[in-house]
Structure 1
Amino acid sequence: FLSRFLPRFCITLDLFQLTCLCPLPCFPRSRDYDGFVSSLLLPEDARRSSLALRAFNVELAQVKDSVSQKTIGLMRMQFWKTTVEEIYRDDPPVQPVSAELWRAVKKHYLTKRWMLRIISEREKDLEDRAYRNLQELEAYSENTQSSLLYLLLESLGVKDVHADHAASHIGKAQGIVTCLRATPYNSSRRKVYLPMDICMLHRASQEDFIRGSREQNVRDVVYDIASQAHVHLQHARSFSKNIPASAFPAFLQTVVLEDYLQRVRRVDFDVFHPSLQKRNPLIPVQLYIRSWKKTY
C-alpha cells in the first residue's frame, strides 16, 4: 500500500513539485491555483486537456480586469470566438492556449457550444455592473463555471445526465463562492458585484462594502449568498449515488468551495476577515484524499 501511494502523496504535499508536474507550461497557476492542483489529480489521459480548458477559462476571466476600455475587451472576446471557430476547422492560431485547446478538442471531441457560451457570458460581464439578483449571478455561473465542468466531463469520457445535473449545481456554487472571495479585492477598486436584491434586503449599500464594513447587515448579505452556494453543493451531492465514478475527478473543486464556506462561517460571515485572504495550505492534501476516496 505504502509503496504504491506514498510517493504520489508526498508529491501532492510538496507545493513546489506540483509546478514541475504540469504538462502545460503556459498555464497561469497564480490565477487559478485550485483548478491547477485539481487538474493534476485527474487521470493522465484527461490531465493535459483539463489544464488547457482551465487556461482558456483564465484567459477569458482576466480580460475584464486587464483592459481599460470595454471596446478593447470586446476585441479580445472576438479573438477567442474566432479562435474557437478556427480550432474546429483544424486551423488554430499560433498561440499556446489555442494549440492546447485544439489538441483537447481533437482528442476528446469537445462540444463547441460550451466554449462559445463561456465566451459570450464573459463578454456580457464586461458591462461591469452588479448582479440585479441572485438568480442573475446563478445564470452567469451556469453559463461559465458549469459550462467548463461539462467540458471537463467530456474530457473524462463521461456522458451522463446525473453528472450533468451535478455539474450544473457545482458550477453555480463555484460562481457564487468566487463572487464572495473576490469581494475584498473588488471593493478595494471601488467595485461591488454582489446581488443588489440581497443588499437591499439587508439595507447594505455599495459604500458599506467599499469601505470594508464588518457590520451585521453586511454579514447578513454574505450569509444569504453563502447559504445559496451551500444549497447547490448539497443538491450536487444528492446525485452522487447515480453518477459514474469516472465523473468524480471533474468535481474535485467542491473541496475548495467547501473549505471557503466553512472558513467564512467560522469568522461569522465577515467577508473582509484577514484569514479569508490566505490560501489554505492543506488544500492539496484534502484534494488528494478526496480523489483517492472517489467522492466529491
Structure 2
Amino acid sequence: ECENMAAGLSAQYGLISSRRSVSNKLFTHAVCVQKPRAARCLSAGASSDLSAQQHEEYCLKLVRSRDYEGFVCSLLLPEAARRSSLALKAFNVELAQVKDSVSQKTIGLMRMQFWKTVVEDIYRDDPPVQPVSVELWRAVRKHTLTRRWLLRIIAEREKDMEDRAYRNLQELESYAENTQSSLLYLQLETLGVKNVHADHAASHIGKAHGIVTCLRATPYHSQRRRVYLPMDICMLHGASQEDFIRGSREQNVRDVVYDIASQAHVHLQHKFLTVAIVPVLQVSIEDYLQRVRKVDFDVFHQSLQKRNPLLPIRLYLQSWKKRY
C-alpha cells in the first residue's frame, strides 16, 4: 500500500517516466567517468535528453530505495525544488552508505576524497559524468547552492569513519548539525529561503533527525555488533554495549532510549518556520517518536522495523493543509 501511494505521487508529479525505464544494470556503482574537459558531455553542452533522464531517474530510484521517507517528502515540494531536492538526498545517500560498504577505513576515506573532488569540480563548472554528480551540478547551477554546506557534510562523514560510539549526546548533536542540518540548509536554498529564522529551525530539525536516525539504526547496528548510542547516557543508566548487541528489553535500556528520544523531541519544540517554509522531515520524525513511545521505548520492537503505511498519506494531508 505504501509503495502504491508513492508510485501514485511520483506519477502525479511527473518524476517517473511511463514510457522509459532505466535498466537495473545502469549506474550500479557510483563510478566517475573521467574525460578530457572538451569531451565531457555536460561542459561541452552535448548531453542528450535521454542521458539527463537517466541521471534523474537514477537519483530518484536511489533515494526511493535508501531514504524512502525523504523520497516521499521530496515529491511534495514545489516543482521548482523537487528535482534538486532529490539530487541532494541522493548525494547524502551516497555518502551515508560508504561507512557500511567498505571493509577498511582507508577505502572509505578514498571515497570521501572522491566526493570532495566532485564538489570542487562542480563549482568549477566541470562535473564528472556520474549520475549524482550531474544532478548535483544542475542543482548548484539552478539555485546557487552554498559550497561550504556540501563540504561540511563530507568532512563530518569522513570523521565518522572512526567507527566508534558517540561519547556524549552533544557529540551526536554536533554530528547531526554538520550532516542533517547542513542538508536542510541546502534544501531551504532550493526553495529560495535564506533567513536566520529558517536556518535556526533547520538546525533544530536536523539535530532531531540525526538523533532519531541513530535510534532507528540501533537494531541494524546491534546485529553487526556495533553500538553508536551516546556513552554518557548508557553509563548513566548502567546499560552496556553488550545489552544492545543482544537486543535487551530491560528497563535500563528503555531508559537510555527514552532520554535520547526526549532530546529529539526538545529540538522539535524550537521550530520557527512559517507555513510558507517546509521542514520536510518534521512529520516523519514525529511519527517515529510517537511509535517508539507507544511501545514503551523498546527500540527493538518489531513494529518499529516496518514502514508506517499511513505516513505518505499523512505527509500529503499535512502538506495540503499547509500545516508544515
Q: TM-score, normalised by structure 2?
A: 0.84
Q: Is the 8 A contact 2:292 2:299 kept in 1?
A: yes
Aligned twin of 1:145: 180
1:280, distance to aligned residue in structure 2 (A): 0.2
Q: Within 1, Cα distance between the matches of 2:124 and 2:282?
A: 35
Residue 276 (structure 2) pairs with residue 283 (structure 1)? no
* AA of the residue aligned to 1:262: Q
Partner deviation per Cα, 1:46-66 (whole Å, 9 max, x = no partner): 000000000000000000000
> Residue type of the partner of 1:172?
K
TM-superposed deviation, 1:13:
6.6
Identity of aligned residues (%): 78
Residue 223 of structure 2 is matched in structure 1 by 188
Aligned partners of 1:131 and 1:193 also within 8 Å = yes
Amino acid paired to 2:8: Q
Picking from 64, 69, 77, the partner of 1:42 is 77
Taking the TM superposition and a 5 Å limit, the aligned residue runs for 1:131-280 are 131-236=166-271, 239-240=272-273, 243=274, 245-248=275-278, 251-280=279-308
**2:6 is the alignment partner of 1:15:** yes
Q: Is the 8 A contact 1:179 1:194 kept in 2?
A: yes
Residues in 2 aligned to 1:275 and 1:98: alpha-carbon distance in whole angstroms: 36
Count of aligned pairs between the two proteins: 280
- Residue in 1 that maps onto 2:34: none
1:229-288 alpha-carbon deviations (Å, 9 max, x no partner)? 00000112xx13xx3x4322xx12111100000000000000000000010011111111
CA contact (8 A) 1:252 1:290 kept: no
Per-residue Cα deviation, 1:92-135 (whole angstroms, up to 9, x for no partner): 00100000000000000000000000000000000000000000
Report the equivalent of 1:80.
115
Q: Which amino acid aligns with 1:139?
A: S
Cα 1:56–1:90, aligned 2, differ >3 Å: closer, same or farther?
A: same
Match for 1:102 among 111, 115, 137?
137
Aligned amino acid, residue 138 of structure 2: R
Find the aligned partners of 1:122 and 1:280 in 2 and give their Cα distance.
Answer: 28
Q: How far is the alpha carbon of 1:179 from its aligned partner?
A: 0.1
Match of 2:65 among 27, 30, 36: 30
Cα contact 2:6–2:72 (8 A) shared by 1: no
- Runs of at least 4 residues of structure 1 off by over 2 A? 11-24
User: Which blocks of at least 5 consecutive residues in structure 1 are unaligned?
Assistant: 1-10
- Report the Cα distance in structure 2 between the residues aligned to 1:211 and 1:265, rounded to whole angstroms: 21
CA contact (8 A) 1:252 1:291 kept: no
Distance 1:22 1:37 in 2: 12
Query: How far is the alpha carbon of 1:293 from its aligned partner?
Result: 1.9
How far did 1:291 drift? Answer: 1.1
Unaligned runs of 5+ in 2: 17-55
Deviation at 1:14, TM superposition (A): 2.4
2-structure distance, mates of 1:85, 1:190: 37
- Higher mean alpha-carbon deviation, 253-262 vs 23-32, is at 23-32
Q: Deviations over 1:173-210 (max 9, x none)?
A: 00000000000000000000000000000000000000
Distance 1:278 1:106 in 2: 38
Equivalent position amino acid for 1:284 in 2: P
TM-score, normalising length: structure 1? 0.92
- 2:277 is matched by which residue type in structure 1? A
One-letter code aligned to 2:205: I
CA contact (8 A) 2:90 2:132 kept: yes
Q: Contact between 1:114 and 1:147, CA under 8 Å: does it hold in 2?
A: yes
- CA–CA distance in structure 1, aligned partners of residues 198 and 58 of structure 2: 29
CA distance in 1: counterparts of 2:319 and 2:4, whole angstroms: 14
Cα distance in structure 2, aligned partners of 1:12 and 1:126:
33
User: Any idea what the Cα deviations from partners look like across 1:208-227, whole Å, max 9, x if unmatched?
Assistant: 00000000000000000000
Alpha-carbon separation, structure 2, partners of 1:253 and 1:183: 20
Bigger mean CA deviation after superposition, 252-261 or 141-150: 252-261
Whole-angstrom distance in 2 between the partners of 1:153 and 1:295: 17
